[in-house]
Chains A and B, each alone.
Chain A
Amino acid sequence: MQALHYRLRPREEVAAKVIDGEAIIINLANGVYYSMDKVGGLIWDLLQAGNSLEEIIVAVTDRYDVSREKVEADIQELVEELLRENLVALSEDGAGPAETRQIAQEGKLLYEVPKLNIYRDMGDLLALDPPVPGLGDTAWKDPTGGSSGEPTA
């Protein structure tokens, strides 16, 4: 169980993006691919924006038709899994989110337990070659055998 004032930050070797409520997360060190949607996508979005666990619990409870106790328990379980998977690190300190997003909605949504979908067999396609450290300009491997992509600016 983690104290609720803690914040989580994605680890350096993790690349993630949330679009339309779906979080896509890749551990660049080993190429493991993760996804979370709906409640899980919202949690990741809030987490990477710098919200504390308490702030995330409040946001989820505001948006979904679910008790605070249930959300807190599910989030604690999810946090443990994110820590086990080396996707996040805990921080007691640090600034809060850059902005507080107001989630405008009419009525609460149906709650589903946040689920971290894991794909462990994508390493040869998604892991950086060579792996971290030094993310810098390293390009992904091209599945067709050549070198792909351009380094990020």
Chain B
Amino acid sequence: MTAKSMRVLFWSETFWPRVGGVENLAAKLLPALQHRGYEFIVVSWGTPDLPREQLYEGIPVYRFPFFSGLAAGNLDPLMETSAHVAKLKRDFGPDLVHINSYGRSVLFHLITANTHPAPMLLTLHQALPNEPVGRETLLGKILQTVDWVTACSAAVLDHTGELVRDIIPRSSLIYNALEVPTFDPQPISFDPPRLLCLGRLVPEKGFDLALTAFTTILDRFPGARLVMAGDGPERERLQQQMIHLGLVNSVEFVGRVPPETVAHLIDESTLVVIPSRLEGFGLVALEAALMARPVVATHVGGLPEVVVHEQTGFLVESENSHALAEAIALLLNNPATAKKFGQAARSRAEEVFSWERHVSAYDALYRRLGNYERRVVST
């Protein structure tokens, strides 16, 4: 099947205008593939603040309330949503359904799968929970049912294969990627040192560890600054921690940052700190690399595939704010090393995480899956 004739239903529980690694990637990938001839619609989880239908770069986005509106004993909203999804599938007639990250809304895809059978692709951006995947679970059923699984890192791919062995022959790695920024990074400034933490303010990002580590950094580098960019449910707790640690004059919470300004924010930084407890890939590490900034990150998930220890940054033990502080201090005390790491990170990122290669990989996979049998699935 050629790109020019393929219709793809992109099922992404969160999507533009939501901001985040998964959302930002999808927002770039779809227009790039559209440019290669694919026709898309997006199905996403609706919330009251977003319109039910909207266009993104000419791509129709349909948002459904999914599990909202249910009341005791009344399944009408659920059935109504299923009917709407089924109609959308009948009207659009997808040649492929691409599920972008597992989420419970895929139940509605499964229960309407036979309305218009099409091959299914699932992309995993996070590692699955480290427990057996039951066959009588939505996750188990979607993994049994999809024709192909891609993972954003070898860590996620390998972990998924360990949990669900029959995925192995129908899965592959497609690294996340980003376009090279349109401007050259400025030389790294160390005076004063500016550390950056960027991401959703949720416990898995480990920003509490960065705050603790920063107290040590501030002792050694009194003029240092830490910027916390992002928002989330942990914001208040982190701000309380900042106050408790006496960091009010040295730490700044700047809130959510529009994707198009991230490169500039990194450009203003000396280095980027990624103290994650869980990380499927570590898109922020790639963003830092493309701006030639060294990274100090935890050795978790996909981060060791993006950050090469002692070549493009340092990897430290998870949950260890002391190790985090020592690694940061080592870079701040050795600007030449930090700059060398940054340059190496950029060169490697351009080669290993090439945007063109990423888009081409999905292009080739879409065309291959488009020739798969359209089978009725047992859901």
Note all chain B residues with C-beta closer than 8 A to A3.
none
Q: How far is the CB of B121 from chain A (nearest CB, A)?
A: 21
Partner of B68, one of A115, A136, A149: A149
Closest to A144 in B: B47
The reply to whether A135 and B66 contact each other, CB–CB distance below 8 Å, is no
**A78 at interface (Cβ–Cβ under 8 A)?**
no
Closest to B86 in A: A20
Note all chain A residues with C-beta closer than 8 A to B78.
24
Partner of B141, one of A24, A117, A151: A117
Q: How far is the CB of A56 from chain B (nearest CB, A)?
A: 22
Bound form: Cα–Cα A46–B8 in Å? 38
The reply to whether B72 and A119 contact each other, CB–CB distance below 8 Å, is no
Q: How far is the CB of A88 from chain B (nearest CB, A)?
A: 16
Note all chain B residues with C-beta closer than 8 A to A115.
378
Q: How far is the CB of A45 from chain B (nearest CB, A)?
A: 14
Note all chain B residues with C-beta closer than 8 A to A125.
67, 104
Partner of A148, one of B70, B82, B111: B70
Bound form: Cα–Cα A61–B74 in Å? 31
Note all chain A residues with C-beta closer than 8 A to B134.
120-121
The reply to whether A148 and B69 contact each other, CB–CB distance below 8 Å, is yes
The reply to whether A17 and B79 contact each other, CB–CB distance below 8 Å, is yes
Q: How does the 8 Å CB contact mask read for A74-110 relative to B, with 1 for contact and 0 for none?
A: 0000000000000000000000000000000000000
Note all chain A residues with C-beta closer than 8 A to B68.
140, 142-144, 148-149
Closest to A143 in B: B67
The reply to whether A117 and B66 contact each other, CB–CB distance below 8 Å, is no
**B73 at interface (Cβ–Cβ under 8 A)?**
yes
Q: How far is the CB of A38 from chain B (nearest CB, A)?
A: 10
Bound form: Cα–Cα A142–B45 in Å? 12
Q: How far is the CB of A78 from chain B (nearest CB, A)?
A: 15
The reply to whether A121 and B137 contact each other, CB–CB distance below 8 Å, is yes
The reply to whether A121 and B139 contact each other, CB–CB distance below 8 Å, is yes
For B47, B68, B72, B79, the residue with the greatest tally of chain A CB atoms inside 10 Å of its CB is B72
**A138 at interface (Cβ–Cβ under 8 A)?**
yes
**A126 at interface (Cβ–Cβ under 8 A)?**
yes
Bound form: Cα–Cα A61–B107 in Å? 31
Note all chain A residues with C-beta closer than 8 A to B329.
none
The reply to whether A152 and B75 contact each other, CB–CB distance below 8 Å, is no
The reply to whether B107 and A33 contact each other, CB–CB distance below 8 Å, is yes
Note all chain A residues with C-beta closer than 8 A to B47.
144
Partner of A152, one of B72, B79, B82, B136: B72
Q: How far is the CB of A85 from chain B (nearest CB, A)?
A: 10
Bound form: Cα–Cα A35–B83 in Å? 15
**A8 at interface (Cβ–Cβ under 8 A)?**
no
For B104, B139, B378, the residue with the greatest tally of chain A CB atoms inside 10 Å of its CB is B104
Interface residues of B in 136-160 (CB under 8 A from A): 136-139, 141
Bound form: Cα–Cα A125–B66 in Å? 10
Given A19-B83, A118-B136, are A149 and B70 neighbors across the interface (CB < 8 Å)? yes
The reply to whether A117 and B378 contact each other, CB–CB distance below 8 Å, is yes
Bound form: Cα–Cα A143–B46 in Å? 11
Partner of A120, one of B72, B74, B75, B136: B136
Bound form: Cα–Cα A118–B134 in Å? 11
Given A22-B111, A119-B138, A143-B67, are A152 and B73 neighbors across the interface (CB < 8 Å)? yes
Given A144-B47, A149-B69, are A122 and B75 neighbors across the interface (CB < 8 Å)? no
The reply to whether A140 and B70 contact each other, CB–CB distance below 8 Å, is yes
For A115, A117, A121, A138, the residue with the greatest tally of chain B CB atoms inside 10 Å of its CB is A121
Interface residues of B in 77-94 (CB under 8 A from A): 77-79, 82-83
**A71 at interface (Cβ–Cβ under 8 A)?**
no
Note all chain B residues with C-beta closer than 8 A to A73.
none
Given A121-B138, A121-B139, A149-B69, are A35 and B77 neighbors across the interface (CB < 8 Å)? no
The reply to whether A128 and B69 contact each other, CB–CB distance below 8 Å, is no
Q: How far is the CB of A55 from chain B (nearest CB, A)?
A: 25
Closest to A118 in B: B136
Bound form: Cα–Cα A140–B78 in Å? 12
**A59 at interface (Cβ–Cβ under 8 A)?**
no
The reply to whether B75 and A16 contact each other, CB–CB distance below 8 Å, is yes
Note all chain A residues with C-beta closer than 8 A to B55.
none
Q: A117-B379, A148-B69 are in contact. List 11 more A-B contacts (CB 8 A).
A: A15-B72, A15-B73, A19-B79, A19-B82, A24-B75, A117-B378, A120-B134, A122-B138, A135-B73, A151-B71, A151-B72
The 6 closest A-B pairs by CB, nearest first: A140-B70, A121-B137, A118-B136, A135-B72, A17-B75, A149-B69
* Cross-chain pairs A/B with CB under 8 angstroms, 14 sampled: A16-B75, A17-B79, A19-B83, A24-B75, A24-B79, A35-B379, A120-B136, A120-B137, A128-B72, A135-B73, A138-B71, A151-B71, A151-B72, A152-B74
